[in-house]
């Protein structure tokens, strides 16, 4: 690890209008240009890990993922609603703490984050070729070209590409005209997710109105039979009882 990283001990991040976090101040301004420098929040990083999960079957190297990010934890929340983040030494993949992830982009072309992009791009292409029957094999160059075009469009409109969007555009990439099943894309659902879906299906079923059909007429017939039985078995009225007593007296 370069000595310059020793100076990277804290940073301040603000929430942008795009609902992404961006660096507003950093402890090492000499090696880090904060103009358009993004940081990935814990929720976004977990989503990235979920998208990486299917790539384990295609040779994902977790050490490349680990080395691509500097982990930061929230130390305090400032009055202007920005967050003061302190760098931690925890493994960003194994820590139970909610951590922000700052990609190592001190060397944008050959650094650890650039290695990660190359790695997941190749694995994504490998997976797509395995799961989709293309007339011609998809190439890394084709995927990179589409991603580059999208980033150039953002740049022309004055928008910086956030690291989260950059990674997800690769990890969710499917060529136009094709699609992947959810099971292939995200792997098997957890038991909690399956239970949630089952409960949702039950609730939806209870709310649906049931239309009457021929198979349900037995309910109506049963009700009518019960009413007839009650009428025939009901006790005689008082007038009938009085007439019967008069006849006995006579």
The one-character DSSP state at 16 is -
Give tens-digit pLDDT for 120-156. 999 999 999 999 999 999 999 999 999 998 888 888 8
Strands 38-39 and 10-15, how do they pair? unpaired
For the entire predicted model, the pTM comes to: 0.70
Question: Which uninterrupted H or E stretch holds 5?
Answer: none
- pLDDT score, position 218: 44
- pLDDT score, position 202: 44
Total residue count of the chain as it appears in this document: 250
What's the CA gap between 217 and 210, in Å, rounded? 13
Q: What is the mean pLDDT of the chain?
A: 81
- Mean pLDDT confidence for 104-132: 94
Residue 159's contacts (CB-CB under 8 Å, 6 or more residues apart) are: 18
């Amino acid at each position: 690890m370069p000595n310059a990283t020793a100076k990277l001990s804290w940073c301040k991040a603000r929430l942008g209008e795009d609902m992404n976090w961006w660096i507003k101040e950093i402890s090492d301004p000499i090696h880090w240009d904060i103009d358009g420098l993004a940081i990935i929040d814990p929720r976004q990083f977990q989503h990235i890990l979920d998208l990486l999960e299917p790539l384990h079957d295609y040779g994902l190297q977790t050490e490349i993922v680990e080395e691509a990010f500097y982990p930061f934890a929230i130390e305090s929340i400032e009055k202007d609603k920005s967050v003061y983040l302190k760098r931690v030494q925890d493994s960003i993949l194994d820590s139970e703490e909610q951590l922000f992830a700052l990609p190592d982009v001190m060397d944008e072309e050959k650094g650890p984050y650039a290695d990660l992009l190359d790695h997941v791009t190749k694995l994504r292409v490998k997976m797509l070729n395995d799961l989709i029957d293309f007339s011609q094999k998809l190439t890394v160059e084709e995927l990179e070209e589409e991603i580059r075009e999208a980033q150039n469009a953002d740049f022309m409109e004055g928008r910086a590409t956030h690291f989260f969007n950059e990674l997800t555009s690769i990890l969710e990439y499917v060529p136009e005209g094709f699609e992947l099943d959810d099971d292939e894309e995200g792997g098997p659902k957890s038991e909690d997710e399956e239970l949630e879906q089952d409960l949702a299906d039950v609730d939806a079923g209870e709310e649906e109105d049931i239309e009457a059909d021929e198979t349900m007429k037995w309910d109506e017939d049963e009700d009518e039979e019960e009413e007839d039985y009650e009428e025939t078995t009901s006790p005689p009225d008082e007038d009938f009882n009085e007439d019967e007593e008069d006849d006995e007296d006579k």
